Each structure stands twice: as structure tokens, then as C-alpha cells.
Chains A and B, each alone.
Chain A
Amino acid sequence: MTVTTPTRTALIPGVSLQARRLPRWTPYAIVVVASAVAYVVIYLENVLGGGVAMTVVAAAVLFLVLLGVTARVVEGSRSARNRLATSWVYGVFILAALPLISVVRTLIVNGHALLNMQFLTHSMRNITPFEKDGGAYHAIIGTLQQAGIAAIITIPLGIACAIYMVEYGRGRLAGAVRFFVDVMTGIPSIVCGLFILAFWVTVISPYFNDGRPAYSGFAAALALSVLMLPTITRSSEEMLRLVPAALREGAYALGIPKWKTILKIVLPTAATGIVTGIMLAIARACGETAPVLLVAGATDSINNNPFSGNQESLSVFIYTQAGSAAKYGVPRAWSAALTLVVIVLALTITAKLIARRSKLK
């Protein structure tokens, strides 16, 4: 019998003040039982197809059923539901961890194979399909330049827009700006790419290129800045709103004009949060493939000039190498993926560390 004995004597004889509880070890015991049954029935007897994965799944299902029934019999239905919910919460956690761990593991195992100085300092120019040499230098240059130009365009614009929404904007117009910034965060990146394709590549760029449409790193930077603008604006707006009104009022009371209050008091106070938002936006822009694929063109050569000629980027490099029939295409794609993830995560981690230092919470 699994019923615990009441530790205190009941006030009324025969009526216990404590509900009956399963002992603490019950779930572990059920795990063992369920695993054993699943192992014998599924793994050894090949019911339902057998296999390791099926055994684990069956063990999990069996565990839930046994736990639910036991808890219901001993503790009642409320407790049974509580126990099942706890199992669900921890269960999905493990379930989700498996593929995510697999992604990270694959990335590291496959990525480090070709990742060396040769890979980081050479382009793919004149690399034949069976050559192992070649690298992603041209793509790294492209990614950094495109994200950098996009940041130069977007940071002043995004912060100014946030200042407008928080400090100056009133009425319908400001409401519309706020609403459309929100809507803009949801625009798919490929639509940004198509927009720059329709706007810059086919309409504006022919004026600079003897009438022919020109792909360029700058076009990619424009597409990325359309993507980054709402992110930077939103995060800056939230940080500006957190600045206490007392700081502003103190400045006004001293006779300081509003623009100077904003530039010298409000922005420095919110600076760490704004920088965090900017770095997260840059990190996201670095990893974007679709818009760059449409407007930057692609090349195997190093192109240090983002304003003229096709330019590669890391994400596009991964995409083309992954789809190429070259012998070392896929390994190169994985090494480039590892490089890209390192860049993106370095930006993200720095952003999070900066966020910790923020005084505004």
C-alpha cells in the first residue's frame, strides 16, 4: 500500500486532516516500470514497429498513463491533473531541447572541419569543383559592409523616429507612425528584398550604371535597413519611455530647451538600452539571407566596394555552397554557417551584457 500514515493524530477520530499523498519516489518508480515495459514490448517484441525512438515515446506515454491513474486513485483527480501538467511542462522542455541541441552539435561538428585561416582569408575565385581550397573572405567582407552601412543609415533614423514618437509626436499622426512601425516589424524579409529590387535596383540604380540595373552591396544594405528600422525604433522607443519624467522636468525647470534635454539627458540615460536594441538588430540583419539574395547579386571574388558590382554575403554564400554540386560545397557551407553564427552570437551576447548594465528597468 502506498498510502502515507498521517503524522499527526486527527482531532476527530477516524477523520484525517491530511489528504492522502503518494510518496515522493512514486514518479521515479513509475519511470522505471514504464521504461521496462516499453523496452520489453516495443524494443524486444517489435510491437508498433519497434526501434529506439518508438521505445522512448512509448515509455513516455506509458509513464503519463500510469502516473495519471495512480495519482487519481490515491490522491484524487485534481492532484492527478496537477501531476500530468508538471510532466507536460518538463516533458516538452526535453522534447524541445533535443532538436535544438542537435542543431548546435551539427553546427560545431561540421563547421570546424574546414574552418581555418585559409578559409577566413581566401575567396572562391578560380576554385574548381574538386578543390578543397577557397574560403569565405569575400562573403565576410560583404556581410560586415552591408550590415555596417545598414546600421549607419538606420541608427540615426531609428533613434530620431523613436524620439518623435516619445517626445514630440501628438495626436493622430504620431499614432499612425507608432502603428506602422509595429506593422513594419512583421514585414517578411523577402518582401523588403523585393521592395529594394523594385525601387533601387530596377528604378534608381540604372541612373548610375549606364542605364542597366545594378546589383550591389549597397542595395543589400538598403534592404537590411528597411528590416532593421522598426526593430531599432521599437527598442529605442521603449527605452526612452522608461526615462523618468522627473529627469526631464528637472532640466526644463533649469530652463534647458527641449532638444538639449533630449540629447544631453534623456538619450544618455537610455543609452545602454538603445545600444542593446541596435546590436540585436544588427545581429539579425547579419543573418538575413533572402533580401541579400535578391539584390546583392553573388560573386566568387572579393569586392571591397559595396557601391559597385556584385557582392557576396555569408548567408548567401551558405545558400549557394549548400546547393552547389562541388565536392566541398556542403562542408564549406557548414564552416560558413559556423562563422556566421559566431558573428551573430558575439553581437547578441555583447548586447545582452550591455543590457545588464542598464539602470532603467
Chain B
Amino acid sequence: MSNPSFAGSADAAPAASAEPIRSPGELTQDTLTGDYAGDTPGAPADGPPGGPDDSGPPLGGGGALPRKKAWSMETGFRFFTSAAGMAVLAIIVAIGVFLISKAIPALNANHANFLTYKNWFPGDNPPMFGIGALAFGTVLTAVIALVLSVPVAVGIALCLTHYAPRRVATVLGFTIDLLAAVPSIVFGLWGRDYFQAPVAGLSRWLHTYFGWLPIFGSGGPYGKSILLGSMVLGIMVLPIVTALTRDVFAQTPTMNEEAALALGATKWEMIRTAVIPYGRPGLIAATMLGLGRALGETIALALTLGATFNISADLLGNGGNTIAANIAHNFGEADAIGRGALIASGLVLFAITLVVNVAARAVIFRRREFRASAV
């Protein structure tokens, strides 16, 4: 632990004489994370003189200390890192600016209401396209995927943190991390080629016994449907949500759990009274991050949805489409207006995910202690 500091100090010490010596006030401000910044005034009267930012005459040492150089490695490094920070802001702004600038010509040429029109004919004369069906499909598949996977993810997370033996839990947790890294195209391919038949069987069963519900109204044939797409999506986000939720539950203070058990709570009551309330903000944040993932997923849904343009409550029949899947499908044969139209739809997707993510961050920031690494 102390090795780096020795190594660093050994070869840095001679060079230090050429650099300005910093005042203790400055040190506190830099090293602590700003919490005490207000408490320590940077007045030179406080400690040994020689603040680096003083522009006045050299203090102390009778002017023996070197003056601050106009350009030093310090300013250069500070400038470099600040520029990197600004680059993030610049990229975000650039994403907005370039997407909007490419979308506007296509939107001007559009002869239909972009937000409510259901079909996608940017190549027609006049071009007509709208994201009505696409936005509906995007939200619907993502929400169903989350409804299916969050209860399962919470169960697995509880199993890993509170039920399974520690050794087993470590191995399984590692496996879940690996599954979270499997590319979405693999899930898409699996869903299209191997999951379609079981889901078709499930659809048939649901229609036979619950066909009176409008969502199970389709009598077939069953193939690439909203149900298939959402289930594949749910299976895909499952490891991600599980990994985040597990980290949250693992952080529950042992004291709270033991207090609950000592008061005679059963294991489930302990989880309900100590673990879940403590992890709720993290749980919500994990769900929202999973939702953001599900909304933006492209390839798995391009392979498992029927790519039709209609808004219906039916989940079983062939059909379904999302903004991202539509971009992947139509990009190849799109002309200038077609591309602009796809970019415009991407802008809407960007806006939707932005709202979801900002909401998730707001939840996380309300509870500062929780710092899940956002995958």
C-alpha cells in the first residue's frame, strides 16, 4: 500500500523544488472531497506562505522560493484533464445537434404526423412516416420484459445474498456477471431459432384458456411476436438487473438484519423489514437502468419481432416493432430522406431513454450511500 508513495516521492522530490509549495489550506481543499472547502479560508495568514495562485510578491523565505511559472506541468495537466471533462459535455451536445440537424430535412418532407402516424414509407412520394406504432412497440416490449424479469431478478439476488451458501453464491454470482457480458445478438439468434417454438406452444395454450382476454386474442399462426420479443428481452436484461440488485442487497447493514432476527422475525420478515426497505432506491434504480437497456436494445428485437406497423393490444400474433429494430431493418435500403427519418426516430428514442435515465439518477442521488456501478 505504501510502496507507490515511496516510489513516487523518491524520484519526484528533486523536481519538487522547482514547483511552488502549496499552502495547507490548498491541500485540504484538494485532498478532501470538497466537504471542508468552506471551512478553511485560503488566507496566507493561516499557515506557511507561498500559495501557488498568489500573484503578489513571493512570500516567506525572503523571496528565496521560486516564483510561480507562467506555464508548468501542473497547469498543462489540469488543462488536459479539464478538456477531457468538457469533451463529455461536447459529445452530448454534439449528439443532440447532429441528430436534430439531420432529422429536420426529413421531418420537413414528411407528409404525415410524425408522432402519431403508424406506417413507415419514407421512400414514397410524398414521403409519409411516423413513430406511432414504433414508440408503442418500444415501450410495450420494454415494460413487459421488465415486468417478467424484475421479480425473478429480485428473487435471484435475494437467493445469492441471503439464501444460498456463500461458496455457491460466489460461483453463481460470477456466472451471472459472465452472462451479463454475452452479446445481445447471441440472445437474439437463440430467440429466433430455438425459443420461438416453445413460445408458440405457450401462445397456443394462453389463447386456448385465456383467449377471452384481448391481449391473448390472436388465434395464430404464432411466430415472431411481441411475447417472444419481450421474453427474449427479459431473459437478456435479467443478468444485468440481477447483478445490480445483488450489489444493493449485499450492502444491507448486518446490524439491521440481526436486529430484525433478534426481535423474532422469520427470514422473510427480516428481508421485508430490513433488506428491501434499505435497498429500495437501488432496486428502483436498477429497474430503471434495465428499462433503459431494454428500450435501446436493437439486434435481439430485430431478430425476434415481426416488424409490422400496427398498434394492438394483442401479444401473441405475428408482429411488433420497435424504434431501434426498425432502424436496423430499414437502414440498408434507406435514401437521404429515409436516413433522416430513421435519425428522427432515433432522436425520439434518445429522448425516451434520457428521461428514464435522468429519473433513475434522481432516485440514486436521493440516497448518496448507494453507489452501484452502472454497467
Q: Do B356 and A186 touch (CB < 8 A)?
A: yes
Q: Tell me if B125 is interfacial: C-beta within 8 Å of chain A.
A: no
A355–chain B nearest beta-carbon distance, Å: 10
Of A54, A177, A283, A294, the contact of B85 (CB 8 Å cutoff): A177
Q: Do B190 and A293 touch (CB < 8 A)?
A: no
Q: Do A91 and B155 touch (CB < 8 A)?
A: yes
Q: Tell me if B45 is interfacial: C-beta within 8 Å of chain A.
A: no
Q: Do B77 and A262 touch (CB < 8 A)?
A: yes
In the bound assembly, the distance between CA atoms of A320 and B192 in angstroms comes to: 14
Q: Tell me if B201 is interfacial: C-beta within 8 Å of chain A.
A: yes
Q: Tell me if A5 is interfacial: C-beta within 8 Å of chain B.
A: no
Q: Which residues of B contact A49 (CB under 8 A)?
A: 205, 208-209
Q: Which residues of B contact A160 (CB under 8 A)?
A: 80-81, 83-85
Closest A-B pairs by Cβ, 3 of them:
A188-B296, A287-B183, A186-B357
Q: Tell me if A13 is interfacial: C-beta within 8 Å of chain B.
A: no
Q: Tell me if A265 is interfacial: C-beta within 8 Å of chain B.
A: yes
Query: Would you give the 0/1 interface string for A193-218, flagging 1 where the beta carbon is closer than 8 Å to chain B?
Result: 01101110011000000000000000
Taking CB atoms and an 8 Å cut-off, the chain B residues in 16-68 that contact chain A are: 16-17, 19, 21-22, 27, 30-34, 37
In the bound assembly, the distance between CA atoms of A99 and B235 in angstroms comes to: 7
Q: Which residues of A contact B185 (CB under 8 A)?
A: 287, 289, 315, 318-319, 337, 340
Q: Do B350 and A252 touch (CB < 8 A)?
A: no
Of A174, A234, A348, the contact of B177 (CB 8 Å cutoff): A348
Q: Which residue of B is nearest A231, CB measured?
A: B375
In the bound assembly, the distance between CA atoms of A100 and B272 in angstroms comes to: 28
Stretch from B128-136, B220-228, B311-319, B324-332 that touches the partner:
B324-332
In the bound assembly, the distance between CA atoms of A288 and B352 in angstroms comes to: 21
Stretch from B94-102, B111-119, B250-258 that touches the partner:
B94-102
Interface size on A, residues (CB 8 A): 118
Q: Which residues of A contact B8 (CB under 8 A)?
A: 251, 256, 260-261, 264-265, 268
Q: Do A256 and B12 touch (CB < 8 A)?
A: yes
B126–chain A nearest beta-carbon distance, Å: 23
In the bound assembly, the distance between CA atoms of A284 and B240 in angstroms comes to: 13
Q: Do A85 and B183 touch (CB < 8 A)?
A: no
6 contacts between A and B (CB under 8 A): A188-B350, A248-B30, A259-B78, A289-B299, A315-B185, A319-B328
What number of residue pairs across chains A and B have CB atoms under 8 A from each other? 333
Q: Which residue of A is nearest B32, CB measured?
A: A245
Q: Do B373 and A157 touch (CB < 8 A)?
A: no
**Interface SS of chain B: helix, strand, loop or mixed?**
helix
Q: Do B87 and A198 touch (CB < 8 A)?
A: no
Q: Which residue of B is nearest A277, CB measured?
A: B373
Q: Tell me if B262 is interfacial: C-beta within 8 Å of chain A.
A: no
Q: Do A337 and B16 touch (CB < 8 A)?
A: no
Stretch from A31-39, A74-82, A125-133, A134-142 that touches the partner:
A74-82
B142–chain A nearest beta-carbon distance, Å: 11
Q: Tell me if B244 is interfacial: C-beta within 8 Å of chain A.
A: no
Q: Do B208 and A198 touch (CB < 8 A)?
A: no
Q: Which residue of A is nearest B162, CB measured?
A: A89
Q: Do B189 and A337 touch (CB < 8 A)?
A: yes
Q: Do B92 and A183 touch (CB < 8 A)?
A: yes
Taking CB atoms and an 8 Å cut-off, the chain A residues in 284-337 that contact chain B are: 284, 286-290, 293-294, 315, 318-319, 322, 330, 333-334, 337
Query: Would you give the 0/1 interface string for B245-276, flagging 1 where the beta carbon is closer than 8 Å to chain A?
Result: 00000000000000000000011110100000
Query: Would you give the 0/1 interface string for B304-322, flagging 1 where the beta carbon is closer than 8 Å to chain A?
Result: 0000000000000000000
Q: Tell me if B303 is interfacial: C-beta within 8 Å of chain A.
A: yes
Q: Do A191 and B349 touch (CB < 8 A)?
A: yes
Q: Which of the listed residues B72, B85, B361 has the most CB atoms from chain A within 10 Å of its own CB? A: B85
Q: Which residues of B contact A170 (CB under 8 A)?
A: 34, 37
Q: Do A102 and B353 touch (CB < 8 A)?
A: no
Q: Which residues of B contact A179 (CB under 8 A)?
A: 361
Q: Which residues of B contact A234 (CB under 8 A)?
A: 373-374
Binding site for A on B (CB under 8 A): 1-2, 4-5, 7-9, 11-13, 15-17, 19, 21-22, 27, 30-34, 37, 72-74, 76-78, 80-89, 91-92, 94-95, 98-99, 101-102, 151-153, 155-156, 158-159, 163, 174, 177-179, 181-187, 189-190, 192-195, 198, 201, 205, 208-209, 235, 238-239, 242, 266-269, 271, 289, 292, 295-299, 302-303, 324, 327-328, 331, 339, 342-343, 346, 349-350, 353-354, 356-358, 360-361, 371, 373-375
B191–chain A nearest beta-carbon distance, Å: 9
Q: Which residues of B contact A191 (CB under 8 A)?
A: 95, 99, 296, 346, 349-350, 353
Q: Which residue of B is nearest A247, CB measured?
A: B5
Q: Which of the listed residues A191, A286, A294 has the most CB atoms from chain B within 10 Å of its own CB? A: A191
Q: Which residues of B contact A294 (CB under 8 A)?
A: 327, 331
In the bound assembly, the distance between CA atoms of A230 and B87 in angstroms comes to: 11
Taking CB atoms and an 8 Å cut-off, the chain A residues in 334-361 that contact chain B are: 334, 337, 340-341, 344-345, 348-349, 352, 359
Q: Do A190 and B102 touch (CB < 8 A)?
A: no
Query: Would you give the 0/1 interface string for A245-276, flagging 1 where the beta carbon is closer than 8 Å to chain B?
Result: 10111111011111111111100110000000
Q: Do B81 and A257 touch (CB < 8 A)?
A: no
Of B15, B163, B358, B375, the contact of A183 (CB 8 Å cutoff): B358
B206–chain A nearest beta-carbon distance, Å: 10
Q: Do B209 and A107 touch (CB < 8 A)?
A: no
A292–chain B nearest beta-carbon distance, Å: 10
Q: Do A349 and B298 touch (CB < 8 A)?
A: no
A12–chain B nearest beta-carbon distance, Å: 20
In the bound assembly, the distance between CA atoms of A284 and B271 in angstroms comes to: 34
A318–chain B nearest beta-carbon distance, Å: 5
Of B1, B13, B177, B374, the contact of A182 (CB 8 Å cutoff): B374
Stretch from A58-66, A113-121, A161-169 that touches the partner:
A161-169
Q: Which residues of A contact B192 (CB under 8 A)?
A: 322
Q: Which residues of B contact A249 (CB under 8 A)?
A: 27, 31
Q: Which residues of A contact B186 (CB under 8 A)?
A: 103, 107, 318, 337, 340-341
Given contacts A161-B87, A187-B95, A247-B1, 11 further A-B contacts (CB under 8 A): A96-B235, A103-B182, A106-B194, A188-B297, A190-B346, A199-B98, A260-B12, A265-B4, A289-B299, A319-B302, A319-B328
Q: Do B9 and A254 touch (CB < 8 A)?
A: yes
Q: Do B182 and A287 touch (CB < 8 A)?
A: yes
Q: Do B5 and A265 touch (CB < 8 A)?
A: yes
Q: Do A102 and B205 touch (CB < 8 A)?
A: no
A104–chain B nearest beta-carbon distance, Å: 8
Q: Which residues of A contact B92 (CB under 8 A)?
A: 180, 183-184
In the bound assembly, the distance between CA atoms of A259 and B33 in angstroms comes to: 17
